[in-house]
């Protein structure tokens, strides 16, 4: 498998130059695909909701679009969803949709022979060290999105080792930090605060309750450092968050191009230190 990886993807090069650099964009809605395909992104990823799966089954991507397309399986399934998703995944595989993002270890059971698919381990698999990269590679994933919880120290050290799967760094996302099927007794329009005085909000629908930070995670301003560490594959995840999905699309593409992050944003765990306990 390592020979296959190095033949498809170039090895990481410790340079600030942008040779062999690739942007991936992840979308929530099928109707936003035309904008995504017109962007500089090498790959365009779409969340495999039932609505998106059924809408795309009635449309036809041209070969160039199909080569750039990735399905992203939702991280949370109910048992009854399995009866829907197994045949849906097979239907798309039979029609040449080879690239899939897996966000749950159980997703791997949807796929048979590894040579039929190109799998990407999603950020929710929490990959943040060489052992984790080797583990997802052994499970059939050629690429792995690094955990959003990864620190700068871990990012700097990772490219020095032998990489089992090619790492992808998420440079923009607004993820749900907590997801539950149970309702939470908090008002949606009022924030609650952590020990660090970070603000969070609740958003609920008929299926799930989610908790979001009051600002997205953005490492767009860190792109020069990430390139210097040796990373060449970057993801902008537009598929989640409390705001309309495409609200800041053009501004974020410009931010990626120029290595600029507009306030407000969070670096999340990048430079964080543990909260110090108060002396009694």
Are 187 and 245 part of one and the same domain?
no
Residue 264 lies in a domain: no
Q: Based on the fold, state whether residues 189 and 94 are members of the same structural domain.
A: no
Residue 7 shares a structural domain with residue 131 = yes
In this structure, the answer to whether residues 199 and 96 fall within a common structural domain is no
Total domains in the fold of the chain: 2
Residue 38 falls inside a structural domain: yes
> Last residue of some domain: 215, 236, 269?
215
Whole-angstrom Cα distance, residue 13 to residue 171? 19
Same domain, 254 and 201: no
- The rounded distance, in Å, linking the Cα atoms of 280 and 278 is 6
- Indicate whether 2 pLDDT > 50: no
Beta strands 233-237 and 166-173 are parallel
Residue with tokens 């099927």: 181
Angstrom distance (rounded) from CA 96 to CA 273? 46
Q: What is the CATH number of the domain that holds 155?
A: 3.20.20.70
CB neighbours (10 Å) of residue 105?
12
The answer to whether residue 81 is domain-embedded is yes
Host domain of residue 8: 2-174+216-258
Whether residues 164 and 190 fall in one domain: no
Judgement on whether residues 231 and 146 belong to the same structural domain of the protein? yes
Q: Across-strand partners of 202?
A: 211
Q: Are residues 165 and 249 in the same domain?
A: yes
Residue 277 lies in a domain: no
Do 156 and 203 form a contact (C-beta atoms < 8 A)? Answer: no
Same domain, 241 and 211: no
185/189 Cα distance (integer angstroms): 12
Q: Are 32 and 38 in contact (CB under 8 A)?
A: no
Cβ neighbours of residue 225 closer than 8 Å, sequence gap 6 or more: 152
C-alpha torsion angle, residues 17, 220, 27, 251 (rounded to 10): -100
pTM: 0.85
Q: Which two tokens stand for residue 144?
A: 């792995």
Q: Would the pLDDT of 180 be above 50?
A: yes
> Is the pLDDT score of 117 beyond 50?
yes
The answer on 195 and 124 residing in a single domain is: no
Give tens-digit pLDDT for 129-159: 999 999 999 999 999 999 999 999 999 999 9
Same domain, 92 and 192: no
Regarding whether 111 and 54 lie in a shared domain, the answer is: yes
Answer whether residue 232 is part of any domain: yes
- Is position 269 within any domain? no
pLDDT digits (tens, 9 = 90+) for 215-250: 999 999 999 999 999 999 999 999 998 777 788 999
Question: Residue 13 pLDDT more than 50?
Answer: no
Mean pLDDT of 185-210: 72
In a domain, 42, yes or no: yes
Q: Is residue 35 part of a domain?
A: yes
């Amino acid at each position: 498998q390592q020979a296959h990886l190095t033949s498809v993807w170039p090895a990481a090069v410790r340079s600030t130059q942008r040779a062999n650099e690739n942007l991936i964009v992840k979308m929530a809605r099928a109707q936003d695909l035309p904008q995504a395909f017109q962007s500089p992104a090498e790959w365009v990823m779409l969340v495999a909701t039932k609505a998106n799966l059924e809408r795309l089954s009635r449309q036809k991507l041209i070969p160039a679009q199909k080569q750039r397309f990735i399905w992203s399986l939702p991280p949370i399934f109910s048992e009854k969803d399995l009866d829907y998703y197994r045949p849906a995944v097979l239907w798309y595989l039979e029609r040449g949709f080879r690239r899939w993002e897996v966000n749950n270890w159980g997703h791997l059971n949807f796929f048979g022979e590894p040579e039929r698919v190109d799998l990407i381990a999603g950020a929710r698999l929490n990959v943040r060290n060489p052992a984790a990269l080797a583990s997802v590679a052994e499970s059939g994933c050629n690429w792995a999105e690094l955990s959003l919880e990864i620190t700068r120290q871990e990012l700097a050290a990772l490219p020095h080792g032998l990489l089992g799967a090619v790492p992808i760094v998420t440079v923009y996302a607004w993820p749900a930090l907590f997801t539950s099927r149970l309702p939470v007794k908090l008002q949606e329009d009022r924030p609650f605060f952590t020990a660090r005085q970070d603000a969070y909000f609740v958003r609920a629908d008929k299926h799930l309750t989610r908790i979001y930070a009051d600002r997205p995670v953005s490492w767009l301003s860190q792109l020069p450092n990430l390139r210097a560490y040796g990373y060449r594959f970057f993801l902008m995840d537009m598929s989640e968050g409390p705001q309309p999905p495409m609200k800041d699309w053009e501004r974020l593409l410009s931010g990626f191009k120029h290595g600029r992050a507009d306030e407000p944003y969070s670096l999340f765990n990048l430079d964080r230190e543990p909260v110090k306990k108060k002396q009694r």
